[in-house]
Amino acid sequence: MSTLKRFFQDTLIYGFATVFPRLMNFVLVPLHTDVLPAEEYSVNTVFYVWAAFFNVLLTYGMETSFFRFFSRAKERSTVFSTAFIALTITTVLFAAGVFIFEDDLIALMDLDPFYFRLLFSVLVLDTLVVVPFAYLRATGRPLKFAGIKVLNILTVVILNLYFLWFVRDYPQFAPQWVLDNYGPKDIVGYIFIANLAASAVTFLLLLPYFFRTKISFDTAVFKQMWKYGWPIMVAGIAFVINENLDKLLIKDMISDEIMGAYSGCYKLAVFMTIFVQAFKMGAEPFFFNHADKENAKETYADILKYFVISGSLIFLILVCFIDFFKALVIRDPEYWMAISIVPIILLANLFLGIYHNLSVWYKLTDRTRTGMYISILGAIITIVLNLALIPVLGFIAAAWATLFAYGAMMFVSYFLGRKYYPVPYEIKKITGYISLSVLIGAISFYVFPGNYLVGIPLLLLFIGIVYFSEKDQILKIIQS
């Protein structure tokens, strides 16, 4: 089996573990937007914005550090136990700090106290399972990893359907103890309760790994992992700013309703996000494990090219059929006022995926601090453009800021990578595929919106050009 074919197969499994939960969350969007007005949907968004921020802070780059040191360590059990013990201790300290400063944090985050407690319960449980999940990926157990992830999201979906649909619409069939504690006006809280239940299920399933580790904390190993990981943490915080600051600023600078509509339409870019996440899940351990191979750089170049082709195709499908997806996912027209952001956010996420691919150079050369600086650059662009342009252009400025931030990160990473870890990327082809997809997407979205007689032939044109350009290499991979 060829290296590329093995990579695609592993990525498919890890991708399923990422795609299925994202798809299920995507399936829940119609339910959420049906039962929540745009203004209340903003509360849901704020909850997950803070969850993303604290998730990065609590894991402090330890997951990527684990892959880096586990893949080359002679005593792998020491790396596992050190990472696990470190995260456990810091999580316990974090929980104590939250308990002490609870009132101040509630005021800062502008969350209902009950939602606040749910949020930090979820964060603690999710952080404790980071290393066990990373262990499954690093040791090549994608099926078990995928199974637990799928069970997690099924718990979320079932409880969402139960509380937001079944109990709400068919109370006569619900147990009395549920009805006694059910508040239909506080429906958003049940979304958070479902997440807490799913995190608890995942924690219990991975609990055996807690006892599998020996009580061994190697200070030298931890220092190396911390040195490698803390720039990744800072980069992660910058990423959270790039992804979520716009929503908080729209809420404060415009209104809760506009922020809710913006966040709802943002969900239509979820297929690109799923694709990027699936790629990242499969690629990160692959890049480290394959680094010492003779043809590593050529393999990385091929992976980026096929990533761009696939991402460009996803971009075109969503843009050409935007009316279909809009009506399918967000049935309440109140949210459609922000539909114009979708092509911009899709392209921004494609750029982000390219950046993740290009980041192989600073991860393999232990220059994670440079990656941190690149992410900080993106965050600065996000902050400046949002503050300067939202008052002038409205919510659309936030989408453009995201695109410019990720585009800048992509270009800077590429040019620095040429210096420190040159990979023979097929830049002309990659640029050509992206440019062609943007051109076709712009024609379909802005000139012939909703006209499938134009959109479908343009989509087929792109597929045909890619096929005739790449068919020999594609056939070689399939037959290997």
**Euclidean distance between CA atoms 208 and 415, whole angstroms:** 45
For residue 51, give both structure tokens: 């969850």
pTM of the model: 0.74
Average pLDDT, the chain: 83
Q: Which residue has the tokens 């459609």?
A: 336
Among residues 70, 83, 5, 132, which one has the least CA distance to residue 289? 70
pLDDT of residue 149: 86
What is the tens place of the pLDDT at every residue in 42-98? 777 888 888 888 988 898 888 878 877 876 766 777 888 888 889 999 999 999 998
Q: Which residues contact 469 (CB under 8 A, 6 or more apart)?
A: 429
For residue 2, give both structure tokens: 């060829």
Contact (Cβ atoms closer than 8 angstroms) between residue 77 and residue 257 = no
Q: What backbone torsions phi and psi does residue 321 show, to the nearest 5 degrees?
A: -115, 35
Low-confidence ranges of the chain (pLDDT < 50): 1
Q: Other CB atoms closer than 10 Å to residue 361's CB: what's the count?
A: 23
